[in-house]
């Protein structure tokens, strides 16, 4: 049973030049990239994407950051793709993320943690639709 997840290489990852490495890790794992686009998010899309964090104190900062430069959005597919990509990404706090994971190897601050991956089938469906409505 295959599933889909939305992966973002956030603006810090694009600036730091790790897009190729993130793609390479996804491919090495055996997951398939079925859509990919470089784009700069509008505040509206960013606020929709992070709607669950609207009441958090860091929400404004998060929206400023995610709209602050181009990002790479991808739909990644494979068996248990949601869990598989989150394992590649590592813990949200990059200091706690295990070395060998994307965040563990490339980041130090929670607000600039390089990648996003959907955290459940429900959020994956919502996020894929938000970024790639044509995929249905």
| Catalytic residue list contains 116 | yes
* 34, 35, 36, 110: which one binds ligand IDP (CB under 6 A): 110
* 15, 37, 58, 98: which one binds ligand IDP (CB under 6 A): 58
Half-sphere CA count of 130, side-chain side, radius 13 A = 22
- The answer to whether the annotation marks 43 as part of a ligand binding site is no
**Residue, CB closest to ligand IDP:** 92
In eight-state DSSP terms, residue 76 is E
CA nearest to 7, candidates 27, 17, 16, 15: 27
d(CA 132, CA 136): 8
Kindly state whether residue 35 participates in binding ligand IDP, applying the rule CB under 6 A.
Answer: no
- Please list the residues that pair with 115 across neighbouring strands: 9
* 33, 62, 125, 130: which one binds ligand IDP (CB under 6 A): 62
Give the shortest CB-100-to-ligand IDP separation in angstroms: 17
127 alpha-carbon distance from chain centroid:
10
The tokens for 123 are 């959020």
Residues involved in catalysis: 116
> What is the contact surface with ligand IDP in residues (CB under 6 A)?
58, 62, 92, 110-111, 113, 116, 119
């Amino acid at each position: 049973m295959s599933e889909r997840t939305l992966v973002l290489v956030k603006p810090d990852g694009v600036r730091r030049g790790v897009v190729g490495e993130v793609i390479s890790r996804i491919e090495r794992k055996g997951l398939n990239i079925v859509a990919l686009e470089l784009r700069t998010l509008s505040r509206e899309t960013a606020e929709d994407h992070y709607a669950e964090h609207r009441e958090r104190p860091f929400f404004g900062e998060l929206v400023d950051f995610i709209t602050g430069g181009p990002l790479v959005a991808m739909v990644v597919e494979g068996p248990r793709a949601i869990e598989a990509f989150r394992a590649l990404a590592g813990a949200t706090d990059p200091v706690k993320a295990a070395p060998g994971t994307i965040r563990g190897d490339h980041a130090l601050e929670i607000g600039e943690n390089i990648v996003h991956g959907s955290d459940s089938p429900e959020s994956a469906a919502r996020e894929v639709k938000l970024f790639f409505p044509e995929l249905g």
